[in-house]
Amino acid sequence: MMAKRNGFGTMAVYFTSISSILGAILFLRLGFAIGTLGFWGAILVILLGHLITIPTALAISELATNTRVEGGGEYFIISRSFGLKLGSTIGITLFLSQTISIAFYTIAFAESFQPFFVWFAEQFGYELPRQVISVPTLLILAYIILYKGSGSGVKLLYIVNGLLLAALLFFFLGKPTESVQNATVLIHENFGFQNVNHFFLIFAICFPAFTGMTAGVGLSGDLRNPGKSIPIGTMLGTLTGLVVYVAVVWKFSVSASQAELLSEQLIMTRIALFGNIVIPIGLAACTSSSAIGAMIVAPRTLQAIALDKIFPFRRINMFFGSGKGEAREPKTASVFSFIIALIFILLGDVDSVAEIITMFFLITYGTLCLSSFLNHFGSPPSYRPRFKSYWFISLAGFLLSVWVMFMINPLYTFLAYIVIVLIYLFIEHNNKEKKGIVNIFKGALFQLNRHLQIYMQKHQSSMDKEEWRPAAICISANSFKREKVLYLMKWISYQHGFGTYFHFIEGYYNRETHLESKEILKRLVDEQKEARSTLYIDTMISPSYTSAIAQIIQAPSISGMENNMVVFEYDKEHHDELRRILDNINLVRSGDFDVCIFADSENLIHPKNGIHVWIREEDTINENLMILLGYIILAHPDWKKSLIKIFIAHKKEEQTSAKEDLFKRIAEGRLPITRANIDLVDLDQKHSLSQVVEEYSKTAGLTIIGFDEHVMRYDPVRFFSKFDAIGDILFVNAKQAREII
């Protein structure tokens, strides 16, 4: 990661961060927080805030040392980690929060003139609006940034940080207020945890105090070495802020009564040495420096978004992405940012603006932590940061951000996420070619799948004893000639099972067949995508049908469970296809697979006509698997208006007991098959099975029939051919009896 010769160093990041952290909230609202919640309540606010900001600072430091960081700060880091679509969505909310921060700090700056407002009200009997100070302040600072450049703004930060340090020093050297006569009374009043129900309201008001730690990240495009300066400057600023806030809370708690803390906004003036002078100066210094920091950062975020060509119109991207001079100062983006800030200055007050900023920043920080966590969990080879955090810290930061948002205001949280979704959909519509939200979780899903596969393999023996579900594989060279078997596999794999379909390419593996397989696979996947199928598609190149079957039955299933069923298919008008299947049945059965043979008819599929399951005396092992397959297929939406009908083809004297036994097992298995849908069919010497099946099931949507070893021994082609006059048939042969539970 090369460093630039010109640009700011680590101290610029540190001072930009610390000047935003030690800002308006410290002077104007921390005393009120202690008066409301007590010492320990205020400490909890600080700790909870830093439990979010420290993981975020670590995440930023980590992400910043993994890639070459350019202009845009947090936006650049998020967009290069999450992709431009989601990154720009968060970037827009980040820009708004940074812009609103300008208004917040400028409004707070006006509060440093409180003695002037009090004097004016006493002299003229009229209370001036705070905008008489805040609006001119914004305009003056805007002039400095626009015409003197960000370099002047950073130089000014050094001056105001010196004034801020002096104000804090005089504050810590100060004595308790005149009304404090007994320290014991203060301990009783302030050192506790009270008004718990107001905790998250106070947290929402105070949280912007801790968000300044990312302010320095916005200088990324102006830093000599962002990979070094961002981690060091950000972490130093965050830890410095934590120490100072805890110390200030303690000083407040031992220096003023609860009533004073609640009623006097600038109670610090009565505690600090020369407080009436140094505290307003310190407040003016910190708020102006924070405003300058936000005014430097916000336009650069907008400029970076525009340079990524996220906005729908080319002219808008050119307008906001333009820069002036060698440093490409974002003049137009700055003007736009200042206009938004001016609107909020005219409309808002400190507390309401603080709550808005809190929600926006919590979304941003949660996203940064989630980005770090997913990179840890997904472990992509390209993720090699020089600074490393821990995945559980990032995960905790993300979860805390989301939880705190809901605790502050559930309605605003839902609205905030709705706004984000709408922004994302808008960007998605105008940037279809860019990396989207689907790509974000690929690494994490890969790792999750890897761990699940290993776990399932290690526990395969115990899983085999549990409830059966199909893991079916099918191979066919007729993918584009006959699509019914693809439907069948889709039905089997929809909800209760898993299915893998192989398109068979006969030949030797070489460059030509490899390219052919890739083209066929893409076509099949696209077709299944349109059909919203859950079927997994692949291709198999092999010199013969038998060798292809031998390969697929040995291949591991990507579902993590062992394949347990092989599905063949043939056209009833082509008995040579049937013979080729029958020649390979023993090969498949040597691997303990259930075998299904799908006989494809020329008839259209009519699911509303139901699934007919035919059970004979010979189907003792097959019958439960046949019923389960019927139920599994019925779960697919294609069959939602259909029913399973079971036909018991037995000799007359055996039918009643067979029916009662079957109904009992179906009832125990809780399958949705009523007694009315179980029919007894008499198999006498005059009628063969094929004849009665044709009579009852000729128009069925799908007919399921079992076959056993006896069929395979004695002219199997003749057995299967007897049913050519019927519609689509699934012949089933179970390796072992399945239990309906």
- Domain residue spans in the chain? 10-439, 459-591, 601-741
SS3 state of residue 33: helix
Burial-class residue 138 by CB neighbours within 10 Å (0-12, 13-18, 19+): buried
SS3 per residue for 487-553: HHHHHHCCCCCEEEEEEEEECCCCHHHHHHHHHHHHHHHHHHHHCCCCCEEEEEEECCHHHHHHHHH
pLDDT along the chain (741 residues), means of 10: 56 76 80 88 91 86 69 70 76 83 82 80 83 86 74 65 86 81 61 83 83 65 70 84 90 85 85 87 80 81 85 83 74 88 78 71 82 74 72 90 88 82 80 59 64 63 63 92 91 86 93 93 87 86 94 81 90 90 90 92 88 89 90 88 87 62 66 74 75 89 92 88 91 86 65
> What's phi and psi for 475, nearest 5 deg?
-130, 135
pTM for this prediction: 0.62
Give the number of other CB atoms < 10 A from CB of residue 323: 18
Using alpha carbons, list the distances in angstroms from residue 405 to 85, 88, 89, 486. 23, 21, 18, 47
d(CA 410, CA 416): 10
CA distance 476 to 474: 7
User: Distance (Å, rounded) from C-alpha 318 to C-alpha 385?
Assistant: 33
10-439: CATH topology is: Amino acid/polyamine transporter I (1.20.1740)
- By three-state DSSP, how is residue 476 classified? strand
CA neighbor of 300 nearest in space, from 365, 216, 221? 221
What's residue 591's pLDDT? Answer: 85
Topology agreement, domain 10-439 and domain 601-741: no
- 56-87: string of b/e by CB count within 10 Å (b at 16+)? bbbbbbbbbbbbebebbbbbbbbbbbbbbbbb
SS3 614: strand
User: What is the reported pLDDT for 545?
Assistant: 94
Structure confidence at residue 518 (pLDDT): 94
Contact in structure between 702 and 677 (CB atoms under 8 Å): no
Bridge partner list, 680: 648
- Cβ contacts of 354 within 8 Å, gap of 6 or more: 25, 29, 104, 204, 205, 206, 207, 208
Q: Look at residue 648 and give its three-state secondary structure.
A: strand
Q: Which amino acid is at 462?
A: S
Cα–Cα distance measured from residue 501 to residue 534, given in angstroms and rounded to the nearest whole number: 11
CA distance 133 to 217: 29
Q: State how far the Cα of 228 lies from the Cα of 186, in Å rounded to an integer.
A: 45
Residue 374: what pLDDT?
A: 79
In a 3-state reduction of DSSP, which class is residue 328? coil
**In 174-211, alpha helices (H):** 183-190, 199-206
**CA angle at residue 177 from 172 to 179, to 5 degrees?**
160
Q: Pairing relation of β-strands 565-571 and 536-542?
A: unpaired
- Architecture category of domain 459-591 in CATH: 3-Layer(aba) Sandwich (3.40)
CA distance 119 to 134: 18
CA-CA distance, 2 to 25, in Å (whole number)?
Answer: 38
**Helices and strands, number each (H, E), in the chain:** 31, 10
**Chain mean position to CA 371:** 9
For residue 146, give both structure tokens: 């626009």
598 contacts 457 by C-beta, under 8 angstroms: no
Residue whose C-alpha is closest to residue 646's, from 670, 625, 674, 619: 674
Residue whose C-alpha is closest to residue 268's, from 259, 280, 258: 280
Which class is 601-741 in CATH?
alpha beta
Rounded CA separation 665/626 (Å): 14
In sequence order, the 6+-apart residues with CB closer than 8 A to the CB of 70 are 76, 220, 221, 226, 304
Residue found under tokens 């698997």: 625
Supply the angle between the helices 391-408 and 199-206 in degrees, to the nearest 10: 110
Going by C-alpha positions, the residue among 128, 165, 203 that lies closest to residue 289 is 165
